[in-house]
Amino acid sequence: MQRIATLDDVSRGLDALCRIDPRLTAVRAMAGEVPLRLSEPGFRSLASIMISQQVSRASADAIFGRLTGLLNPLTPRAVLDASEVIFREAGLSRPKQRGLIAAAQATVDGLDLHHLCRMDAPKAMALLTAVSGIGPWTAQVYLLFSAGHPDIFPERDVALQSAVGHALGIEPRPGHKELGLLAESWSPWRGVASRLFWAYYRETRGRDAAPLTETAKKQ
């Protein structure tokens, strides 16, 4: 697997995507800067992504900031030892509390989040989604931004559905099954295509909807 590890990798992927699908040339022009958004593999990165599920980017930033202020360092053991009061103060919903605790327990029990990043996507996805509270979207985003996987497209992401629909004139916007089929044509660079359409969403909607990742704000 050729990891997406630098901005040069992103640029090379964008060039390839525009050759594969000439419609993306205009999308690239509109998108402006397409960030790398690469984060360090591990529990902290996974936790930031889990917190991003089904909330706005601003809310995810705020919740993660409070949680890391209360649990510093944010480790699996710290999560397992934390009281419910800590989670409430951070603003975590009950389902997210349960998911974060399940992920922490799985890590303590031997789930190697670093080794996952060296696996093929299907096997890594299966191991991640076997943990209660980690669905396909969370697993895909972790592999995109922590493993730098080049060929994953989180088709369940509403912002990506909206961005692709707007950019390619698809009305109503594609659902996850339709988007997944469409994204297959962008293989083996679907990981860069996802970054491209999150950037397009940012430029056309005026807000960043890409999932929170540990180092995303620095890249």
Domain residue ranges in the chain: 7-35+151-218, 43-145
- 27-77 pLDDT, tens digit each: 999 999 999 999 999 999 999 999 998 888 889 999 999 999 999 999 999
CATH superfamily of 43-145: Hypothetical protein; domain 2 (1.10.340.30)
Confidence at residue 7, expressed as pLDDT on a 0 to 100 scale: 97
Given the structure tokens 């944010």, which residue do they identify? 74
Can you tell me the mean pLDDT for 172-176?
96
Cα distance between the two ends of the chain: 23
Is the backbone peptide bond immediately before 174 cis, with ω within 30 degrees of 0? Answer: no
Nearest to 122 by CA among 139, 141, 147, 109: 139
Mention every residue, 6+ apart, whose C-beta is less than 8 A from residue 213.
37, 38, 39, 45, 48, 49, 141, 145, 146
Positive/negative CA dihedral, 131, 159, 31, 52: negative
CA-to-CA separations, 28 to 156, 158, 161, 177, 200, in angstroms, rounded: 22, 20, 17, 24, 8
Cα 148 from Cα 30, distance rounded (Å): 24
- Is pLDDT above 60 for 218? no
Res. 213 pLDDT band, cuts 50 70 90: confident
Can you tell me the mean pLDDT for 144-167?
96
Q: Is 158 helix (H, G, I), strand (E, B) or coil?
A: helix
- Is pLDDT above 90 for 1? no
Domain 7-35+151-218 has CATH 1.10.1670.40: yes
Token digits for 167? Answer: 């950019």
Determine how many CB atoms are found less than 10 A away from the CB of residue 56.
12
Is the backbone peptide bond immediately before 73 cis, with ω within 30 degrees of 0? Answer: yes
Confidence at residue 86, expressed as pLDDT on a 0 to 100 scale: 96
Confidence at residue 31, expressed as pLDDT on a 0 to 100 scale: 98
Cα 144 from Cα 99, distance rounded (Å): 20
- CA neighbours within 13 Å on the CB side: how many for 186? 29
State the average pLDDT for the chain: 94
- Is pLDDT above 70 for 219? no
- Is pLDDT above 50 for 141? yes
- Is pLDDT above 50 for 216? no
- 67-105 pLDDT, tens digit each: 999 999 999 999 999 999 999 999 999 999 999 999 999
